[in-house]
Amino acid sequence: MDSGLVTALSGALAQSRRIETIANNIANAETPAFKERDLVFEEALESAHQVDTRSDIEPGPLSKSELLARPHRENRPVLFGADFTNMKTGGMRSTGNTFDLAIDGNGFFEVQSPQGIRLTRAGNLSLDAQGQLVTRDGFLVLGPAPAGMLVSTDPVQQNSNPQSRAIRVGGGNFQVDLEGNISRVANGVSENVGKLSVVQVENPKALKHVGQNMFEAGPDAFLQAADGSDGRAPASGTEKPIVEPKLNPLGPTNVRPRVLQGMLESSNVNPVQQMTRMIEAQRLYDQNVRLMQTQGDMTSKLSEIGKF
């Protein structure tokens, strides 16, 4: 395939993917605690990356997106890598709803999804038929892990019975304090019914967005319980030194997060900015399509000339 056509085609595919990502951001501009996402782009000479030993770029094939470059061809694809998630905290807004909870500071709620324990900052909760706290999608909100167990990435927890960590509040008249302790008031008597598991993340780059406003924690996330009682999760059999980013968008982990009842964290999406990016991506997509058409016309005319 002609290198010019590869460049235009890969550019159109990349911008199409970007348009989908931006559209998803705009659609979730009002979703509690939603985090803006974008794509990481890079332009590269595929063959140079593979065979040029003089380059300061590490040797080896690049990760390809869609049907882009071919080995040992002087193509110039537009590559896009994994999605980038902006973990900056959104603003706080008061709702007055007992079931709305927000985390002020570096922290995530642990929830039990069908794929295992996941993390979320979306605190728009409700009750299931058994009177247990669940997320908007019906996933159980979990209490702290048993003593001596690591949080979230521990395979024992992932395979354990989630009902053992479910939080049952029964009726809707309950209170949550700043540390996540839940008490139910019945007949004027306050009874402690559980505690929310709030964990902190020292390496946000190790979080993988898995949909439904949840994140999967990689082994390098260095999770720790907000109260420090459950320790940190090692990346393997041995402990790794903690290397916390200097500018953690979630906030420092040496400050205990607070759980705020009757409030929700807003999305960090800026709709005006996203609309501007959408227009830009659409224009780039159209330009790449026109380039493909031009390239096709040139190839056709050259074929006709070759007949004479």
CB 223 within 8 A of CB 151: yes
Bridge partner list, 116: 113
Bridge partner list, 209: 215
pTM, rounded to two decimals: 0.75
Q: Looking at beta carbons, which pairs linking 288-294 to residues 24 or more positions away fall under 8 Å?
A: 288/8, 288/9, 288/11, 288/12, 288/15, 289/8, 289/12, 291/4, 291/7, 291/8, 291/11, 292/5, 292/8, 292/9, 292/12
Label residue 173 by pLDDT band (50, 70, 90): confident
Local structure of 110: helix, strand or coil? strand
Query: pLDDT at residue 105 above 70?
Result: yes
For residue 265, the model assigns a pLDDT of 97
For residue 280, the model assigns a pLDDT of 93
pLDDT in tens, 5-31: 777 888 888 888 899 999 999 999 999
For residue 226, the model assigns a pLDDT of 67
Candidate ranges 83-92, 236-245, 257-266; pick with highest mean pLDDT:
257-266
Query: Average pLDDT, whole number, for the chain?
Result: 78
Give the mean pLDDT of 80-86.
74
For residue 307, the model assigns a pLDDT of 58
Query: pLDDT at residue 115 above 70?
Result: yes
Burial 143-181 (b: 16+ CB within 10 A, else e): bbbeeeebbbbbeebeebebeebbbbbeeeebebeeebe
pLDDT in tens, 218-245: 878 877 666 655 433 333 334 444 444 4
- Backbone φ and ψ of 32, nearest 5°: -55, 130
pLDDT in tens, 184-226: 877 777 889 999 999 999 888 889 889 899 999 887 887 766 6
For residue 227, the model assigns a pLDDT of 66
Among 70-74, 180-184, 224-228, the range scoring the smallest mean pLDDT is 70-74
Query: pLDDT at residue 88 above 60?
Result: yes
